Chain A
Amino acid sequence: MLRYVARRTLYMLLALFVIISVTFFISKALPGTPFADDKLTPQIRKQLYEKYGLDEPILVQYEKYMLNVAQGDLGNSFYFESRPVSQMILQRLPVSMFIGVQAVIFGLVIGMVLGIVAALRHNTLWDTLAVVVAVLGVSVPSFVLGPILQYWLGLKLGWFPIAFFESWIYSVLPSLALSVFVISTVARFIRTEMLEVMGQDYITLAKAKGLSGLAVILKHVLRNALIPLVTVMAPLTIYLITGSLVVEQIFAVPGIGEQFVQSIVVNDYSMILGTTIFFSVLFILALLIQDIMYGIIDPRIRISGAKE
């Protein structure tokens, strides 16, 4: 188990290293920094270059950059004069987290119920419903769903505000827009997994012991079907990250995603790269936690360190 965790951690660190290096070299290759402005005198430009350390040899810059990033220093925003990127990110994190976590909780609950019912009532109306939701959920992206919700629940029915973030009620539509994909992913996953497990020999054996249908489901089917659900954690994290970019934009939510999109519009490169690194760390952490959790709940990995 320990070796397994160590190996996974190593890969994740390597991936992180690759990403940060890529962002660094990209930042060097960028077509125009804000300081390429012709209106600046060479004098001022030189001062600026010195201030941001842009005049040193590239490898020195690289080393400095890596060290800074390792300490959580993502540099200063080009656009909002010298405000630290990491501070700006952390400031906006709570709002994004709130909307994302709310969407995941809602999506997990509804998705699990739907998936379980669909599998237990295989080939009935419930099952069809789950399949339809699953296909719609992966086919209708949040940037289509968001405006639909805005139009229908916000403008037509007037139930929820359609923009900004002032109280909980403002979070409903953005979370809902994000959660449909979660619902469909989870429902589809659980349904497939349960149908698969229910066809296994060990379920027949459990029935052959004379256990009641409910006991078979609770003790054997669900246990085996839910373990692999851990593996949707990383994909869901990456979905929430990318989803937050568009959903926060649509609903004018002051979160990290909205800030990221704005920084693209104004070419705030240090902000873009910093946020990219932050997103990558988030994703890699999710991946790592996912792998470790899988190892903890699945005895096949916990004990022998590998799946058969």
Chain B
Amino acid sequence: METRHRELDPRLFESVEIDAYEGERIAGPPVGFWKDSWVRLKKNRGALISLAVLVLVFIVAFVIGPLISTHSPYDQNMTQRYLGPTSDYWFGTDKFGRDMWTRVWAGARVSLYIGLLAALLDIFVGVVYGAVSGYLGGRVDDVMQRIIEILNGIPSLIIAILAMIVFNPGIITISIAIGLTGWTFMARIVRGRMIQLKDQEFALASRSLGASGFRVVWKHLIPNSLGLIVINLMFTIPSAIFAEAFLSFIGLGIQVPEASLGSLISDGAGELRFHPYLLWLPSIVFCLLMICFNLLGDGLRDALDPKMRK
């Protein structure tokens, strides 16, 4: 032995229990999936600001906006047309003298409502379809997938236009038209996840303990797919909001005297030359909604599924 050793305190060479050091080195309690995701989301400033803005828009659109205004979105006042933003009419008035402030927020309410309804439909149709298809597998899955493939060949917004022509235009028709055509993507994602999960140990264990198929899906597979579902919903919502505004813009959506951001933008575009504020105000609110939902969606995707980062 050539190595030179320093003189050290002999007590240093007493043996110790391993546990004493293991305890010292454990970094902290393991963090759960959702908590972990929340930590990641909090690091994303764009997503956080978007969330805050959305909450704010929600509150203003549903509570504060209508409450603090003395005007109604429908009352016409021919003596007060094209007023431009004033201290009385904060967003001005339109060509019938209607108050734009309340009309814009009524439009925002429609957008938010459509977004939520489309999300619900996406869950009830898309998630259920995907879960059934993926869990059952075999022939059923085959047929269900072929159906989706055919549906994907159908341009959904065009079908929504037809639906709007046949049925009475209105918020319910719009929601159904948008919801019925928008769920296939969700179904595919959920199905893929089901197939990936169903042979994993916890599902097998649960099945071997005699749990019914429904129970396995509901108690094990769906909770484990929740992250993916949430991410997807965050992209369904803005596209539904867009679809409604689009339909309303070409005159097929919300009918007068109701207001939607799409129809307000359409009216505003016609008044561009002399009363541009009629275009700017609804456009700003609409784009704000879209940007916030998209940024929040991006943020959630990065936070919930770092591997899926796109």
Contact = CB atoms under 8 A, between A and B. Distances in A.
B149 A242 contact: no
Interface string A217-255: 000000000000000000000100110011001100000
Interface in A134-184: 135-136, 138-141, 143-144, 146-148, 150-151, 155
Interface string A18-48: 1100110010011100000000000000000
B154 A280 contact: yes
A16 B159 contact: no
A155 B266 contact: no
B246 interface: yes
A287 interface: yes
B246 A141 contact: yes
A102 B4 CA distance: 79
B10 interface: no
B121 interface: no
Contacts of A287: 152-153
B68 interface: no
Contacts of A188: 310
A52 interface: no
A155 B272 contact: yes
A49 interface: no
Contact of A264 (B154, B245, B252, B287): B252
A93 interface: no
Contacts of B250: 245-246, 249, 261, 264
Given A246-B246, A284-B153, A139 B162 contact: no
Given A23-B162, A135-B294, A264 B251 contact: yes
Contact of A150 (B272, B286, B294): B272
Given A246-B250, A272-B165, A139 B290 contact: yes
A15 interface: yes
Contact of B249 (A139, A143, A269, A279): A143
Main secondary structure of the interface of B (DSSP, over half): helix
A147 B252 contact: no
Nearest to B273: A155
A287 B251 CA distance: 29
A11 B273 CA distance: 48
Contact of A146 (B158, B245, B269, B273): B269
Given A23-B162, A276-B161, A284-B153, 17 more contacts: A15-B152, A15-B153, A135-B294, A140-B287, A143-B245, A147-B268, A148-B283, A150-B269, A241-B155, A245-B250, A246-B246, A264-B165, A264-B251, A264-B252, A272-B161, A276-B162, A283-B158
Interface of A: 11-12, 14-16, 18-19, 22-23, 26, 29-31, 135-136, 138-141, 143-144, 146-148, 150-151, 155, 188, 192, 238, 241-242, 245-246, 249-250, 261, 264-265, 269, 272-273, 276, 279-280, 283-284, 287
19 contacts: A11-B153, A14-B153, A15-B150, A29-B166, A30-B165, A31-B166, A139-B290, A141-B246, A143-B266, A143-B269, A150-B272, A151-B279, A238-B155, A242-B157, A242-B246, A246-B249, A276-B158, A276-B162, A283-B153
